[in-house]
Amino acid sequence: MKIHDFAPAPNPTKLRVYLNEKGIEIPRVVVNLVEGQQNQEPFLSLNPLGGVPVLELDDGTTLCESLAIIEYFEELHPEPPMIGSDPLERAKVREIERTIDLGVLGRLARIVHASRSPLPGVKPMPELAERERARLPRVLGVVNARIGSQPFVCGERPTIADCTLFAGLRFGQFGGVEIPGEFANVHRWYESFSARPSTQ
Ligand SMILES: N[C@@H](CCC(=O)N[C@@H](CS)C(=O)NCC(=O)O)C(=O)O
C-alpha cells in the first residue's frame, strides 16, 4: 500500500499527522501540485478529481477522500482510539472534526487560494477571500470554546479533530492568514500541538 501525498497541502497533512499519531508508517509517492502532476497521468487514473491524498492498496483499490482513508485506518488499528471510544464520544468527535474541516480548514484553504495561491494559474479572487475571511471568526469562536483549557480539542487525548485543525491552521499560516488574538485557546493549542513529533 502507498499514499500519494504532497507535504505542504492541508488534506494530506491531516492524514499524515493522523498516521504519525497512530504510529503507522506507509510509503509515500509525491504528487507535486505546484508542477500540476495531479492533473496528469498517471495520477489522474488513480483519482480523476485530481486531489491528494490518495491511498492505493496493493490490489490497486484506491481511496480518494482524506477522512475515508482515516476512518479505514482507524478500523484497521483501533488503538489508541482517535475517533472516541463510545457512540456518543465518536459522534462528538466527528461533529467537531466536520465543523473544523468545513469551517476552518476548507475556509482557510479558500482564503489562501483566493488571495495568493501557491498553485500556478489560480487567479486571485479578492471578494471571495474577503467573504470567507469574514466568516472565519464565528467558527473559530466555536472551536476556541470547545478547546477551553483542555490539552486537545476533545479533551485529554488527541483525536482526528486535532489533526484537521492543525492541518488547516498550518496551511493558513503558510498563506499568511492571521488568526485573531482573541482566540487565545486556539493559539495556545496550536503552539502546543505543533511541538508534537507527529507534526514534524
Ligand atoms: N475532500 C478531499 C479534498 C482533496 C483535495 O482537494 N486536495 C487538495 C490538496 S489539500 C488538492 O489536491 N488540490 C489540487 C488542486 O486543487 O489542483 C480530501 O479531503 O481528500
Q: Which residues contact 132 (CB under 8 A, 6 or more apart)?
A: 107, 110, 111, 114
- Grid look-up 480523476 returns 48
For residues 26-42, average pLDDT? 97
Mean pLDDT of the chain: 98
33 CB within 6 A, ligand 1:
yes
165 CB within 6 A, ligand 1:
no
For residues 182-187, average pLDDT? 98
Alpha helix stretches (DSSP H) within the chain = 10-22, 43-46, 66-76, 87-100, 106-116, 126-147, 160-174, 184-194
Strands 2-5 and 62-63: unpaired
Q: What band does 36 get if pLDDT is binned at 50, 70 and 90?
A: very high
What is residue 182's predicted lDDT score, i.e. its pLDDT? 98
For residues 113-121, average pLDDT? 95
Span from the CA of 41 to the centroid of ligand 1 (angstroms): 16
Span from the CA of 51 to the centroid of ligand 1 (angstroms): 4
What is residue 148's predicted lDDT score, i.e. its pLDDT? 98
Span from the CA of 53 to the centroid of ligand 1 (angstroms): 7
Q: What band does 99 get if pLDDT is binned at 50, 70 and 90?
A: very high
- Other C-beta atoms lying within 10 Å of the C-beta of residue 163: 30
What is residue 51's predicted lDDT score, i.e. its pLDDT? 98
What is residue 143's predicted lDDT score, i.e. its pLDDT? 98
50 CB within 6 A, ligand 1:
yes
What is residue 110's predicted lDDT score, i.e. its pLDDT? 98
For the chain, where do the domains classified as CATH 3.40.30.10 start and end?
2-76
What is residue 177's predicted lDDT score, i.e. its pLDDT? 96
Write out the three cell numbers for 62.
Answer: 484506491
CATH code for residues 87-199: 1.20.1050.10
Span from the CA of 149 to the centroid of ligand 1 (angstroms): 32
What is residue 130's predicted lDDT score, i.e. its pLDDT? 97
CATH class (in words) of the domain with range 2-76: alpha beta
- pTM of the model as a whole: 0.98
Query: Which of 3, 5, 11, 37 best tests ligand 1's pocket when mutated (most atoms within 8 Å of CB)?
Result: 11
With 0-12 CB in 10 A as exposed, 13-18 as middle and 19+ as buried, what is 86? exposed
For the chain, where do the domains classified as CATH 1.20.1050.10 start and end?
87-199
* pLDDT per residue as tens digits for the range 60-85: 999 999 999 999 999 999 999 999 99
Span from the CA of 117 to the centroid of ligand 1 (angstroms): 13
